[in-house]
């Protein structure tokens, strides 16, 4: 097998973005995906402005916008009293080509990218190829994959990018610690076509609802509303996901006559973890393989896509004879963002929503209100929460 290629483990948004960027640089790429087709689960759905700016390079931004829902505003609300602070992304005009959040399911991006990659002779996508182990030497890498029938194959390449998710086999194969914490509650996500925007006064398309007893999040896409509810981990899954329990919880959010139509339901455990290394020799990590966080703020997939562009550009330069130390800079830049921006913003959002102390909660909501009312603070808050600020600060990381 040839070693004159880059192997990418995982055909999610991060893996396909990095593959597309490398292919555009003329580098042969092999993408391996454990599933028989591209995953189509209802996972991340928020695209931040700088992510859309980056995706213009791959001709993917405009088609995504056509398929998604443009959201100019997002807000924090008190569950009982209504809006606390509404943020207007239009204030970012001039800082980005896309002064809004786009609500669009991530699988739409992967299908757009596959269409591009399938037409590129530099790219091969191998399905039904579960990564089993990875190794390297001074000249190249090896990835052992397993087929559904149990047969195994050894793939060789010059570099290996682990974009294979939070349980990354690639990361485990190079013994990189993945330290952090596990959030005590589970997150239950539901989708319904019910028009919450018609039933709840002044509701923006993205709303974080604070409450000392039970916070929740409402996100609208082009076809459905998504509801995220924290759930006690001790509640049996068969109860948590049952029709009766889901209808009960939905009606606690908003009572209606009859039952809600539920299009999708899932519960998952949430972690806050960052890999100790992103670059070990010829093996590199990106996306959830390198960092995971709670979804409050929509920074997980976006941060992973930012990893992909950063890594692809540096690896392309190394491929052309540049200094391999560039890959260490990728690690330093993107790991700093994961620790200082993505993790901290997600934790702040959860703390604000979940605060039970009345005085602390009131102070946090008052600060958000004052931020929204002050134009300078309002814009800076958007610069930070939209991830524009962190990207601009990367050049300072040597």
The predicted structure's pLDDT at residue 278: 98
In the predicted model, what is the mean pLDDT of residues 274-292?
96
**pLDDT class of 268 with cuts at 50, 70, 90:** confident
What angle (nearest 5°) sits at the alpha carbon of residue 85, between those of residues 80 and 90? Answer: 140
Element (H, E) at 133: strand 130-136
In the predicted model, what is the mean pLDDT of residues 264-276?
90
> In the predicted model, is pLDDT for residue 142 greater than 80?
yes
DSSP 3-state helix, strand, coil percentages of the chain (rounded to 5)? 40, 25, 35
- To the nearest whole percent, how much of the chain has pLDDT over 70? 95
The predicted structure's pLDDT at residue 298: 76
**pLDDT class of 98 with cuts at 50, 70, 90:** very high
Residues 6 or more apart from 305 whose CB is under 8 A from it?
13, 14, 17, 51, 54, 55, 287
The predicted structure's pLDDT at residue 300: 87
Mean pLDDT of the chain: 92
**pLDDT class of 344 with cuts at 50, 70, 90:** low
pLDDT digits (tens, 9 = 90+) for 362-378: 888 899 999 999 999 99
Tokens of 217: 């999040």
> In the predicted model, is pLDDT for residue 346 greater than 80?
no
**Contact indicator for 161, 144 with CB cutoff of 8 Å:** no
Domains parsed from the chain with CATH numbers: 6-71+89-179+271-353+390-396 (3.50.50.60), 181-270 (3.30.9.10)
The predicted structure's pLDDT at residue 397: 86
> In the predicted model, is pLDDT for residue 283 greater than 90?
yes
pLDDT digits (tens, 9 = 90+) for 73-88: 999 999 989 999 999 9
In the predicted model, what is the mean pLDDT of residues 116-127?
96
Worst-scoring range by mean pLDDT, 48-52, 271-275, 284-288, 326-330?
271-275
Per-residue DSSP letter, 102: E
> In the predicted model, is pLDDT for residue 177 greater than 50?
yes
Output phi, psi for 227, to 5 deg.
-120, 130
**Contact indicator for 36, 128 with CB cutoff of 8 Å:** yes
Largest CA distance in the chain: 66
The predicted structure's pLDDT at residue 1: 41
**pLDDT class of 356 with cuts at 50, 70, 90:** confident
pLDDT digits (tens, 9 = 90+) for 238-247: 999 999 999 9
pLDDT digits (tens, 9 = 90+) for 30-64: 999 999 998 776 678 899 999 999 999 999 999 99
In the predicted model, what is the mean pLDDT of residues 292-301?
82
> In the predicted model, is pLDDT for residue 140 greater than 90?
yes
What does the alpha-carbon distance between residue 244 and residue 265 come to, in Å, rounded to a whole number? 13
The predicted structure's pLDDT at residue 347: 62
pLDDT digits (tens, 9 = 90+) for 18-30: 999 999 999 999 9
User: Please, what sign has the CA dihedral across residues 11, 17, 21, 22?
Assistant: negative
Torsion-angle region of residue 165: left (phi > 0), alpha (psi -120 to 50) or beta?
Answer: left
For residues 83-96, b (16+ Cβ closer than 10 Å) or e, as one string? bbbbbbbebbeebb
> In the predicted model, is pLDDT for residue 101 greater than 90?
yes
> In the predicted model, is pLDDT for residue 345 greater than 80?
no
């Amino acid at each position: 097998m040839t070693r004159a290629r880059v192997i990418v483990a995982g055909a999610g948004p991060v893996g396909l973005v990095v593959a597309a960027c490398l292919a555009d640089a003329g580098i042969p790429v092999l993408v391996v995906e454990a599933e028989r087709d591209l995953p189509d689960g209802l996972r991340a759905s928020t695209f931040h402005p700088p992510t859309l700016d980056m995706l213009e390079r791959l001709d993917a931004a405009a088609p995504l916008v056509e398929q998604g829902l443009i959201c100019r505003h997002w807000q924090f609300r008190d569950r009982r009293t209504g809006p606390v602070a509404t943020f207007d992304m239009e204030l970012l005009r001039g800082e980005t080509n896309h002064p809004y959040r786009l609500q669009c399911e991530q699988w739409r991006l992967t299908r757009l990218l596959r269409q591009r990659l399938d037409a590129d002779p530099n790219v091969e996508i191998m399905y039904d190829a579960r990564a089993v182990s990875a190794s390297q030497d001074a000249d190249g890498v090896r990835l052992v994959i397993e087929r559904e029938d149990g047969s195994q194959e050894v793939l060789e390449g010059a570099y290996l990018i682990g974009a294979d998710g939070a349980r990354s086999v690639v990361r485990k194969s190079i013994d990189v610690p993945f330290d952090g914490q596990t959030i005590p509650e589970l997150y239950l996500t539901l989708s319904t076509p019910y028009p919450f925007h018609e039933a709840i006064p002044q509701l923006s398309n993205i709303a974080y609802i604070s409450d000392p007893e039970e916070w929740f999040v409402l996100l609208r896409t082009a076809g459905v509303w998504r509801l995220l509810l924290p759930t006690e981990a001790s509640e049996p899954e068969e109860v948590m996901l049952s029709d009766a329990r889901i209808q009960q919880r939905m009606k606690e959010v908003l009572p209606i006559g009859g039952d809600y139509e539920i299009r999708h339901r899932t519960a998952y455990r949430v972690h806050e973890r960052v890999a100790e290394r992103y670059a070990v020799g010829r093996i590199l990590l990106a996306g959830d393989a390198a960092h995971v966080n709670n979804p409050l703020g929509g920074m997980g997939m976006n941060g992973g896509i930012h990893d992909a562009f950063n890594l692809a550009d540096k690896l392309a330069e190394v491929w052309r004879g540049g200094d391999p130390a560039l890959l260490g800079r990728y690690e330093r830049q993107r790991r700093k963002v994961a620790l200082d921006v993505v993790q901290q913003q997600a934790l702040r959002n959860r703390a604000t929503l979940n605060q039970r102390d009345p005085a602390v909660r009131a102070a946090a909501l008052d600060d958000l209100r004052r931020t929204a009312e002050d134009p300078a603070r309002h814009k800076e808050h958007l610069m930070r929460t939209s991830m524009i600020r962190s990207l601009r600060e990367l050049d300072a990381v040597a």
